[in-house]
Amino acid sequence: DQVRFELCAQALNANLKTIAPWRDLEFIEKFKGRQDLIAYAREQNIPIDATPKAPYSVDENLYHTSYESGMLEDPMTAPIPEMFKMTVDPKVAPNESESIRIHFKAGIPVQVSNLSHPQVDETDPLLLFLELNRVAGKHGIGRIDIVENRFVGIKSRGVYETPGGTLLRAAHLDLEGLCLDREVMKLRDSLSVKFAEFCYNGFWFAPEMDFVRHAIEFSQKNVTGYVDLELYKGNVTVIGRYSNVALYSADLASMDLEGGGANIEYNPSDAQGFIRINATRLKAHNLVQKRA
């Protein structure tokens, strides 16, 4: 976090001075660890969630809650049930599934409708996301427990809750499959990894991040439509999708309609030459292997 905050501060205003207590020798000498910090907060009547019995670190925002350090530093120690703030344990989630519909316009979520409870329909960006957090958390969706690689070279164990974000990701990826060209999807996949890397390492305001962000934004111009999701005990399942700009053609994909329908000419016999050309290098490779 210190790298992320300071890199962004330097990018926005190089004249700002960063005061980082964890790098101050006097501070480090006084506070050896989280137990000392917890004790100090209690002495000064500073309200915090951490306790000596559960001394893990908690950071939360609208998108997710993260838990690290303390008892979680042992990768074999399971999180205690009462630690989680945003999601219920999937084992005690409702025994009945719930279905929702997420609408997207140019890749941006613009509406959430609850198909199981039609009175719930949100279009306000904040309320939309709060509703996704609520319904996903209710069904125990969005928990992960991972060991990750920090930018400074240290491995760390973290437990995360991202209920609404998990639903958005599932729906968005599925709609992209309906609307994006195959080769654009391949490029988007590779750029998504770089986007995550730049963001994680604190290079949000770097020129390379500007490049990747603009490229991904361009790829989303036709990602418009909606996706239906079923939520049940920690699982999210896509059960339907629709777009009026979909590249998918039921006629072309059909095994019951010859030629791809009226709009697209496709002759199944064309596959013979396609297969023969693609097999050329495979046959050459196999011949070399036999001689070896």
Gap between the Cα atoms of 289 and 283, Å rounded: 10
Would you say residue 204 has pLDDT above 80?
Answer: yes
Q: Is residue 274 part of a domain?
A: yes
State pLDDT tens for residues 104-116.
999 999 999 999 9
Q: Return left, alpha or beta for 202; rule: phi > 0 is left, psi -120 to 50 is alpha, else beta.
A: left
Q: Is residue 259 part of a domain?
A: yes
Contact yes or no for 205/12 (Cβ under 8 A): yes
Q: Is residue 260 part of a domain?
A: yes
**Bridge partners, 237 (sequence order):** 230
Intra-chain end-to-end CA distance of the chain, in Å: 54
Which pLDDT score is estimated for 69? 87
Q: Which of 195, 219, 192 is nearest to 209 (CA)?
A: 195
Domain that holds residue 269: 254-281
Longest dimension (CA), the chain: 81
Distances (CA, A) of 138 to 54, 81, 87, 239: 24, 15, 6, 19
Distances (CA, A) of 48 to 54, 55, 56, 116, 216: 12, 11, 11, 38, 39
Q: Is residue 261 part of a domain?
A: yes
Gap between the Cα atoms of 241 and 173, Å rounded: 11
Gap between the Cα atoms of 176 and 227, Å rounded: 10
Q: Is residue 212 part of a domain?
A: no
Would you say residue 259 has pLDDT above 60?
Answer: no
Would you say residue 260 has pLDDT above 90?
Answer: no
Q: Is residue 263 part of a domain?
A: yes
Gap between the Cα atoms of 245 and 265, Å rounded: 19
Give mean pLDDT, residues 121-142.
97
Helices and strands per DSSP (H, E), number in the chain: 9, 9
Gap between the Cα atoms of 115 and 251, Å rounded: 28
Q: In 3-state terms, what secondary structure has residue 118?
A: coil
**Whole-structure pTM value:** 0.87
Q: Is residue 262 part of a domain?
A: yes
Complete edge-to-edge strand list for the sheet that includes strand 65-68 = 57-60, 65-68, 155-161, 143-149
State pLDDT tens for residues 208-249.
999 999 999 999 999 999 999 999 999 999 999 999 999 988
Specify the number of domains making up the chain: 1
State pLDDT tens for residues 3-16.
899 999 999 999 99
Would you say residue 262 has pLDDT above 70?
Answer: no
Give mean pLDDT, residues 162-174.
98
What percent of the chain stands above pLDDT 70? 95
Which pLDDT score is estimated for 70? 85
**Angle, to 10 degrees, between the axis of helix 163-179 and the axis of helix 182-200?**
150
State pLDDT tens for residues 15-68.
999 888 888 899 999 998 888 988 999 999 999 877 776 668 889 999 999 999
Average pLDDT, the chain: 92
Q: Is residue 117 part of a domain?
A: no
